[in-house]
Amino acid sequence: MRRKLAAGNWKMNGTSAELARLTTLAESHGSAGCDVLICPPATLLSRAAEALSGSAIAVGGQDCHGATSGAHTGDISAGMLKDAGASHVILGHSERRADHGEGDALVRTKSEAAIAAGLTAVICLGESLSERDAGQTLDVIGTQLEGSTPDGASGARVVIAYEPVWAIGTGKVPTTDQIGEVHDFIRTGLTRRFGAEAGDAIRILYGGSVKPGNAAEIFAVSNVDGALVGGASLKPEDFGPIIDALEASAG
């Protein structure tokens, strides 16, 4: 059985004033019946790790460089994230693919660097609205999955997040059939490439406008092993009920 994972992506939000929200979350959901991960901006990583120490809530970065060190002004290596207290890193988010021109090969290089540093890579895939409207969703997801995922991926070191670009921050959510179709497709791709055991152990999260009001319905879909939550992860009063719904779906 794959352990469920509720992951929060704070994106470019949060200063020291917001650290108290982590203490609140740790008090209410510090030992939930599912894994919980918060990915704050890099500036808050070590203090977030401190605020959550003693709880089971893990901390992750939102990106890393593919190299271990060197002349890369403004970048952060996977080892540095680990040193700051991170256990995970989000890679290939559609906002990085769009804002920074990141492609599958670079995402794969970064995921290899993350795994080499002892982190778990949360690799994001997702189609645009025009790709969905053109009936290209599974082709796009298949290409991203193949190109962005490193060889030898395991359940311990890789998590896949399916985030349709058109559902991010828009309040639009695919139907449960649409989510199920893509998640089943990803599962098949994972088992084909990595074998039944590893392919079945890799968790597949759904992301895009997950809220307390739609979480239970999404978590009931086959091969949905949790969520990657943006806006609703910023407030414990929203993220808490999402964690509760995930826990309840685990039975």
Ligand X SMILES: O=C(CO)COP(=O)(O)O
Contacts with ligand X: how many residues (CB under 6 A)?
A: 14
Question: For ligand X, which residue of 209, 219, 225, 239 counts as binding (CB under 6 A)?
Answer: 209
| Residue 9 labelled as part of a binding site | yes
Q: Which secondary-structure segment (H or E) carries 52?
A: helix 45-52
Minimum gap (Å) between residue 192 Cβ and ligand X: 26
State which of positions 136-195 bind ligand X (CB under 6 A). Answer: 163, 168-169
Q: Identify which range of 101-109, 129-137, 202-210, 212-220 contacts ligand X by CB under 6 A.
A: 202-210
* Beta carbons within 10 angstroms of residue 72's beta carbon: 11
CA distance 138 to 44: 36
70 has binding-site annotation: no
Residue 95 or 104 with smaller CB distance to ligand X: 95
Of residues 76-105, those binding ligand X (CB under 6 A): 93
Using rule CB under 6 A, residue 9 touches ligand X: yes
Clarify whether 93 is annotated catalytic: yes
Selected binder of ligand X within 61, 92, 174, 230 (CB under 6 A): 230
Cα gap 214→221, rounded to integer Å: 12
- Which pairs count as long-range contacts for 238-244, CB under 8 Å and 24+ apart, including other chains? 238/211, 238/212, 239/6, 239/8, 239/25, 239/29, 240/25, 240/28, 240/29, 241/212, 241/215, 242/6, 242/210, 242/211, 242/212, 242/215, 243/6, 243/29, 243/32, 243/34, 243/36, 244/29
* 126 lines the binding site for ligand X (CB under 6 A): no
Q: How far is the CB of 232 from ligand X (least distance, A)?
A: 6
Minimum CB separation from ligand X for residue 121, in Å?
14
Q: Which is nearer to ligand X, 78 or 228 (CB)?
A: 228
Query: At its nearest, how many Å lie between ligand X and the CB of residue 69?
Result: 27
∠111-173-179 over CA atoms, to 5°?
Answer: 60
Q: Which residues contact 237 (CB under 8 A, 6 or more apart)?
A: none
Tell me which of 52, 229, 245, 246 binds ligand X, using CB under 6 A.
Answer: 229
Is 10 annotated to bind a ligand? Reply is: yes
174-196 exposure pattern, b = at least 16 Cβ within 10 A, e = fewer: bebeebbbbbebbbebbbeebee
Burial class of residue 209 in the structure, from the number of CB atoms within 10 Å of its CB (0-12 exposed, 13-18 middle, 19+ buried)? buried
CB of 91 to ligand X, least distance (A): 11
Catalytic residue chosen out of the listed positions 88, 93, 102, 183: 93
Known catalytic membership, residue 88 = no
- Catalytic sites, residue numbers: 93, 163
Residue positions in the annotated binding site for substrate? Answer: 9-11, 169, 209, 230-231
Q: Using CB under 6 A as the criterion, which residues of the chain lie in contact with ligand X when the complex forms? A: 9, 93, 163, 168-169, 207-210, 228-232
